[in-house]
Amino acid sequence: MEKSLIYFLIFAALFIIVLVLFLTFSSMGSKKKVVKKVQKKGTTSYRDKKVTIKEMVEIAANINSSRSDLINAILKVAKELPFPKKSRGVAPKEAELYLEFVLLIASHKNADAKLIAFCNKELKKANPTYATEIEIYENEGLKQKANRI
């Protein structure tokens, strides 16, 4: 009787251990799948698709945008969204949206001096005819940021 009770307890303990291990490994597998799905969704963001200046302005205007979001937006504007060409030295009306982007980046709560300098350098390099306007809007954004603090 005692031997059968001991065998039963050993069997029950092994069964519980195997069940716990199975549940642990199966739950770990499902967490990995969720992480992969999130990463896949994250890669299909504005970084991979064709974007507009309005979308970049929305990112810069969003107070919850992270520093890396702002950097990615600056790079997109500098590389894929050139400012409209000036006519007789005068910026067209469409350029206001681009310059608003500069102002919003400079006044953003997550923009530090390095990010603003990076924005200045990249946008001036991509749009040398707008260097003066970029400087003016950047300074205005810095004033707005200083008034808010």
pLDDT reported for residue 8? 86
Q: What is the pLDDT of residues 19-66, one digit of tens each?
A: 788 877 777 665 544 444 444 444 444 455 688 999 999 999 999 999
pLDDT at 9 over 90: no
pLDDT bin (cut points 50, 70, 90) of residue 146 is confident
pLDDT reported for residue 56? 94
SS3 state at 65 = coil
Q: Would you tell me how many other CB atoms lie within 10 Å of the CB of residue 116?
A: 21
> Which residues make Cβ contacts (< 8 Å) with residue 148, sequence separation at least 6?
107, 109
* CB burial of residue 34 (10 Å; 0-12, 13-18, 19+): exposed
For the chain, the domains span: 1-44, 53-148
Beta carbons of 126 and 82 less than 8 angstroms apart? yes
* 9 vs 97, higher pLDDT: 97
